[in-house]
């Protein structure tokens, strides 16, 4: 029996695969005196200017309207107009299309700053930049870019149509069909949970043009709002991010010219995967900003509120809870910023994007819950914005891939690494 057992010492020797998933990578042909090893929170001058500009805009133009927009479940027209005026709806678009010409990391900083004040407004900016604009710039023809990108940067909202009543997490089981008839396609089907469908001027619709090929028949179509047969339904009455419109969209014999295919026939599933990977970093930034905004509203209160003769912040039990949340906020920020920087290198980032999105959403849930507890009774009322942050954060564990789906994705990546 002893002969068939491995030596105990072998359990303690390092397996060649250990730590593989966290291995660092050296930059080739780089001398140590040629680089400054800057922290992840070190920004370029342009990024810093963008961050400060958005902070000022959010405080002056959005903050006074947040409570009203939440109550009425409607985005104020002046806020949408302000986003276009500030160049925040075309952050990465080149000047030739009316954009700002900034970086993906700038989009993440903008999303975070807006979410500190109102996650609903942040979502509008995030989706426009990481999904709609990115799909056009990456897969659109020059004619499609010239037709739509200047409008998307100036005055038009785009909407991404993927989810359906029977295909949520199993997104590629969608039933919307696109039947080819000569030089055009006829689209029939229905979509659900379509963000900003109420405001959208153009829809990027995922439909299956070859059902016999399964998900490899999924194709992306550009559908203008005024196209006959397209119907936007009544918006959902939601728990949180209430200023955003979320509507069902139906397509009844919608006739689309072949020239309105975005990219190639049958490649839509690849486009969706690629865009959603970056979009998840955007959602991570939204959840991070939301959590930080809630935290920033709460801590000053704990330093003003007194009980038993001293500030509640000064109780050790409170200090430990606050420090615990602060550490996790910082960890979420570093995961998010790191994933965003990886995007700019052009390297694969499926695992890092899922980690950032998963963790930021979970920490937003923890932070907002704790903030209500620290505020006590007033945190439970609408007199303070804390309860709104609490309601807004829940969607972070659901859209653009649920928390469980992120964990599954992370696990698959780890399995491949070992």
Select which of 45, 344, 400, 417 is catalytic.
400
Instruction: Find the length of the chain.
Output: 418
400 catalytic residue (yes or no): yes
In angstroms, rounded to a whole number, what is the distance separating the alpha carbons of residues 228 and 226? 6
CA distance 287 to 112: 8
Q: Are 89 and 129 in contact (CB under 8 A)?
A: yes
**Cα(125)–Cα(352) distance, rounded to whole angstroms?**
22
| Pairing mode, strands 157-161 and 200-208 | parallel
d(CA 365, CA 395) in angstroms, rounded, equals 10
Question: CA-to-CA distance for 278 and 131, rounded, in angstroms?
Answer: 8
Rounded to an integer, what distance in angstroms lies between the CA atom of residue 97 and that of residue 100?
9
Q: What is the C-alpha separation between 41 and 95, in angstroms, rounded?
A: 27
3-state secondary structure 202-229: EEEEEEECCHHHHHHHEEEEEEECCCCC
Active centre residues (catalytic): 400
């Amino acid at each position: 029996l002893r002969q068939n057992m491995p030596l105990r010492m072998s359990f303690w020797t390092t397996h060649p695969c250990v730590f593989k998933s966290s291995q660092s990578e050296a930059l080739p042909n780089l001398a140590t005196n040629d680089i400054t090893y800057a922290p992840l929170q070190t920004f370029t001058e342009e990024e810093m200017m963008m961050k400060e500009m958005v902070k000022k805009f959010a405080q002056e133009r959005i903050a006074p309207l947040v409570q009203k927009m939440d109550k009425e479940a409607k985005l104020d027209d002046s806020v949408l107009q302000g986003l276009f005026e500030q160049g925040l709806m075309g952050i990465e678009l080149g000047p030739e299309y009316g954009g700002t010409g900034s970086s993906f990391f700038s989009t993440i900083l903008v999303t975070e700053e807006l979410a500190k004040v109102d996650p609903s407004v942040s979502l509008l900016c995030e989706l426009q930049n990481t999904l709609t604009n990115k799909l056009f710039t990456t897969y659109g023809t020059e004619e499609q870019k010239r037709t739509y990108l200047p409008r998307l940067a100036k005055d038009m909202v785009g909407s991404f149509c993927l989810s359906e009543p029977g295909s949520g997490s199993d997104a590629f089981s969608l039933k919307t069909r696109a039947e080819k008839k000569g030089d055009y396609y006829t689209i029939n089907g229905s979509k659900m949970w379509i963000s900003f469908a109420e405001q959208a001027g153009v829809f990027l619709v995922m439909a299956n043009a070859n059902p016999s090929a399964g998900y490899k028949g999924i194709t992306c179509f550009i559908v203008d709002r005024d196209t006959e047969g397209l119907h936007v339904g009544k918006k959902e009455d939601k728990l949180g991010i209430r200023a955003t419109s979320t509507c069902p969209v139906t397509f009844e014999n919608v006739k689309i010219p072949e020239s309105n295919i975005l990219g190639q026939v049958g490649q839509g599933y690849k486009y969706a995967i690629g865009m959603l990977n970056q979009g998840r970093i955007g959602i991570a930034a939204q959840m991070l900003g939301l959590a930080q905004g809630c935290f920033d509203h709460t801590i000053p209160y704990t330093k003003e509120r007194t009980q038993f003769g001293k500030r509640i912040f000064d109780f050790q039990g409170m200090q430990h809870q606050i420090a615990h949340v602060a550490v996790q906020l910082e960890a979420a920020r570093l995961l998010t910023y790191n994933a965003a920087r990886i995007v700019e290198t052009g390297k694969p980032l499926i695992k890092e994007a899922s980690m950032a999105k998963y963790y930021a959403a979970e920490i937003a849930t923890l932070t907002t819950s704790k903030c209500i507890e620290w505020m006590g009774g007033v945190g439970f009322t609408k007199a303070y914005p804390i309860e709104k942050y609490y309601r807004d954060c829940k969607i972070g564990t659901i859209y653009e891939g649920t928390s469980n789906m992120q964990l599954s994705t992370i696990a698959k990546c780890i399995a491949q690494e070992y």
